[in-house]
Amino acid sequence: GIQVEQSPPDLILQEGANSTLRCNFSDSVNNLQWFHQNPWGQLINLFYIPSGTKQNGRLSATTVATERYSLLYISSSQTTDSGVYFCAASGGSYIPTFGRGTSLIVHP
């Protein structure tokens, strides 16, 4: 199956800073998503982005399918951005494989 690696594993920011999270995947994908898991355990779908670039407010994501990576950009970070960010990718089976996540802490 597809292997998904995320970096960095941990990230600590001061409020207002920008950051880039990376997701590498081992094979061609038909689905790639970024999720934010809040401290209560809820998994929020940020982007469905098997290719191209999308933006939603302070967040944006880019997937370069031919080079097998995706990036999540967080600009002007806020304390509410804290949590764990997961990348999930799937190929022919359509069942996603999750990376190990990036744990983000934003200090006021």
Dihedral over Cα of 54, 4, 66, 74: its sign: positive
- Check: CB of residue 59 under 8 Å from CB of residue 88: no
Considering just the CA atoms, what is the radius of gyration of the chain in Å?
13
Least separation in angstroms between residue 79's CB and other proteins is 21
* Choices 7-15, 59-67, 71-79, 97-105 (CB under 8 A): range interacting with other proteins: 97-105
| CA within 13 Å, CB half, 84 | 15
DSSP state of 27: S
Least separation in angstroms between residue 77's CB and other proteins is 22
In angstroms, rounded to a whole number, what is the distance separating the alpha carbons of residues 58 and 89?
Answer: 23
Closer by beta carbon to other proteins, 25 or else 35: 35
Site pattern 39..78 for other proteins (x: CB under 8 A): --xxx-x--x------------------------------
Q: Does 17 bind other proteins (CB under 8 A)?
A: no
Residues that bind other proteins (CB under 8 A): 30-33, 35, 41-43, 45, 48, 86, 88, 94-96, 98-101
